[in-house]
Structure 1
Amino acid sequence: MISFDEASALAAGLAQPLGHETVRLGEADGRILATSIVARRTSPCADVSAMDGYAVRDGDLAGAPVRLAVIGEAFAGQAFDGALTPGSCVRIFTGGVAPAGTDRVIIQEEVERDGPLALFARAPNGARNLRMAGSDFRPGDILVEAGARLNAQRLVAAAAADLATVSVVARPRVLIVATGDELDEPGNPSPLRPGVPESVSFGVAALVRAWGGQVVDRWRLGDDLPALEKAARSAVDLADVVVVTGGASVGERDFAKTMFAPLDPRMIFSKVAIKPGKPIWIGRVSNTLIVGLPGNPTSALVTARLFLAPLIAGLAGREASRAVDWRLESLARPLPPCGDRETFVRAMRVPGGVEPIGDQDASAQKALAMSDVLIRRRPGEVAADAGTLVETLDF
């Protein structure tokens, strides 16, 4: 059995980005760029108006007030078919291409229209209200660097660069296997025996997606070792990461680890000195990682947050260290001393800081639903009073 820090370091060493793939922009939200977004066009492609108003020559307004002939219009994305001539102006809208000879756009609020004429009361002395060609970017400009996570703003830039697709880090494919004869599909209890709804896989799947993974399937299997061994062989061929839940004890029918034995897995670690979640283990079969989580819901979700979240984040091209970004917060209610195992106390944020949940049982699910933060307690730490700064992690 190893320490939390040792296990975390071993898991971090596995969290290396997978290969690249090309996806369409509409499917790229949240993905990590494998190659930089490089502009393929000039933006704006011509001098365009930044305001609704009138395109004018400065020389025509030097003797303001003055009336100029309105000789045409330029709507957004369109150009007036001609050029400004002395004594004329063009009605123009935001995004309209400025006609040749334009020195500035006078906003419409400062112009009085009189039929075919426009009255300009004073000479200009402010902004030109023009966006010059290439003032945003030109072909070859890097708009978003490789390694950035695509969001709404960066997707706008990619589309503006005239890209239909982007190269991104492949999402890790994750297959979740929940084991145990006692497990029923939620909403469909067995009529033959008392059971419990299988709940852990739904939480694990949500966590995987939140940290950049792709859940390829979710299996619920009984404690039938030959069937589990067959499933294990299939699972490692279908996924980059197989998450198996169950085996919280050393009972005769806890096969979550044994099911992979015929595949001769290389164990990264097999047990960690933490509470809850001591049975957490990670192994590898060829290029597929196997993550074993306890069957108890709270234990499973805590260990998934501590180990699976950074692993998935790193495989997906994110910074794995940001998935375990501990910070100090004030304790809102006292905590007892910590035992000889590092303990992760489920808590919730309240106006006074972080408040431990009353029910810390490893199988508690109502208490789990109330928790939004973990408090890290080192082995042997003394009791902590309210107001003490404690290490916390978003849960």
Structure 2
Amino acid sequence: MSLLPVADALKTIIDAISPTKNEVVPLSQANGRILAHDIAAVFDQPPFDGSAMDGYALNATDGQLGAKLEVVGISAAGEAFDGTLTTGQCTRIYTGAPMPKGANAVIMQEKITRDGDTITLEDDVAAGQNVRDKGNDFALGDVLVGMDTKLSPFHLALAAAANHPTLQVRKAPKMTLVATGDELVPPGATLQKDQIIASNGFGLTPLFTHFGADVKDGGIIKDDRETLKNELKRLLDEKPDILVTTGGASVGDRDYVKEVLEELGVDLSFWKIAVRPGKPLMFGTKGKTTIFGLPGNPVSALVTGTVFVVPAIKAKLGQSPQHMVVQLPLTTDMSSNGPRQHYRRAKLVTKPDATLGVDPNMQSDSAHLTSLSQSDSFVVQPPLCKGKAEGELVDVLIMPWAVS
């Protein structure tokens, strides 16, 4: 059976995804959530012409160097001057305070001398000087933050200033993550003969959580066919948005995941991808649940989780499923590639000329976690790509923690 190209596999996945529903949350719980509707301005900000400086408000027709003006009041934030300025008058004004009627400029307090209720200007003043116009920040009806934006602290500050105490966001996709394998034991266990520590979930869970999934640990299932079938049935009956298994996806005598999923009514769209590492990857659906069967080798699991599962999470949340891929020059030579698209472990580096490059790791063992832990990106090497020389541009998939 021929291997499915990566691009075709991703299209199949995205075509099968429908976005989650929405929910309303308070601003205090909205950081990192995906906005489900535009945030619009319901008033002008500032709602009046205001001062951008501590100083004196005046009409610019009186604003000549050496002019003397009478101070007739004070305009402070929350306590505006009530009257109207006439020729030769000014008011003391503070940052953020409303401009008095009749005034159209502010001179900084450092550029006057004051004697009692009279000030002398030490500079010329132009109309609009040091004035924040009404609606300068945003105006009624402006779209402040667009839907499908991942909300940051800066977005939330703007939403608060626009008087939006709650926001409508996408519900986090409910995801269940389960490992399979007789040899697996949790971290902290005393290793017996032929056992290894189950590490996949400790990388996949924060990876999927970072992109907005609500991940439940489904534990470790032994390589017993009936046990596996019963446990996977139980997990599917809970109807998560996404179910991810790791291990048991290949063709070994005890790799039961594929046939068990099919027996449980999962419609498998593909199995085996032209990707390296991670060829034995499954994708299917049952009702509202999207199912991924990832390889058990830890690097393969984390690479395929990044390349295939993360776009599904983003699509569930209404976001573009595209990865952050840029072109960067190699800082060393890179060997050729075989018939599968290779996500080669790599690290971003700052070159001596202060520009960014990428250093590919030549380690290709799908269980070699040390090399993965030293990586913050993947060089995306197409099938049958010839070797690349230092300085040549390559596609680089950048992980989010590399730029945070």
TM over 0.5: yes
2:70 corresponds to which residue?
Answer: 68
TM-score (normalised: structure 1): 0.88
Q: How far 1:319 sits from its partner (Å)?
A: 0.8
CA contact (8 A) 1:276 1:299 kept: yes
Alignment of 1:318-329 (within 5 A): 318-321=319-322, 323=323, 325-329=324-328
Aligned residue for 2:115? 114
Offset from partner CA, 1:72-98 (integer Å, 9 cap, x none): 333334323444455543221111122
What code does the residue aligned with 1:316 have? L
Name the residue aligned to 2:363: 359
Query: Does structure 1 residue 33 correspond to structure 2 residue 35?
Result: yes
Alignment match, 1:233 = 233
Identity of aligned residues (%): 36
Corresponding pairs, count: 391
Deviation at 1:270, TM superposition (A): 1.3
Relative to structure 1, the CA distance from residue 254 to residue 98 in structure 2 (aligned partners, 3 Å threshold; closer, same or farther) is same
Instruction: Determine the C-alpha separation between the residues in 2 that align with 1:17 and 1:280.
Output: 23
Asked if the contact 1:283/1:290 (under 8 Å) is kept, the reply is yes
What are structure 1's unaligned runs of at least 5 residues? none
**Structure 2 partner of 1:201:** 201
Return 123-132 or 362-371, whichever deviates more.
123-132
* Partner Cα distance (1:121, 1:377) in 2: 66
Residue of structure 2 equivalent to 1:298: 299
SS in structure 1 opposite 2:175? strand
Residue 20 of structure 2 corresponds to which residue in structure 1?
A: 18
1:206-355 superposed matches below 5 A: 206-236=206-236, 237-247=238-248, 249-321=250-322, 323=323, 325-350=324-349, 353-355=357-359
Q: Which digits, 9 at most, give the CA deviation of each residue in 1:242-264, with x for residues without a partner?
A: 11111154334334334434421
Question: Where do 5+ consecutive residues of structure 2 fail to align?
Answer: 352-356, 400-404
Mapped partners of 1:383, 1:309: distance in 2:
29
What amino acid is aligned across from residue 146 of structure 1 in structure 2?
M
CA gap of 1:129–1:268, structure 2 versus 1, over 3 A, is same
Q: What is the CA RMSD across the aligned residues, in angstroms? A: 2.7
SS in 1 for 2:169: strand
Per-residue deviation at 1:194? Answer: 5.1
Please say if residues 14 and 312 of structure 2, whose CA atoms lie closer than 8 Å, have aligned partners that are also in contact: yes
> Does the C-alpha gap of structure 1 residues 23 and 118 become closer, same or farther in structure 2, counting only changes over 3 Å?
same
Please give the alpha-carbon distance, in whole angstroms, between the structure 1 residues aligned to 2:43 and 2:364. Answer: 58
Map of 2:52 onto structure 1 = 50
Aligned-partner Cα distance in 1 for 2:150–2:119? 49
Asked whether the equivalents of residues 245 and 292 of structure 1 are also in contact (C-alpha less than 8 Å), the reply is: yes
CA–CA separation in structure 2 for the residues paired with 1:4 and 1:55: 65
SS in structure 1 at match of 2:25:
strand
Contact 1:33 1:167 in 2 (8 A): yes
Deviation at 1:288, TM superposition (A): 0.5
- Larger deviation: 342-351 or 158-167? 342-351
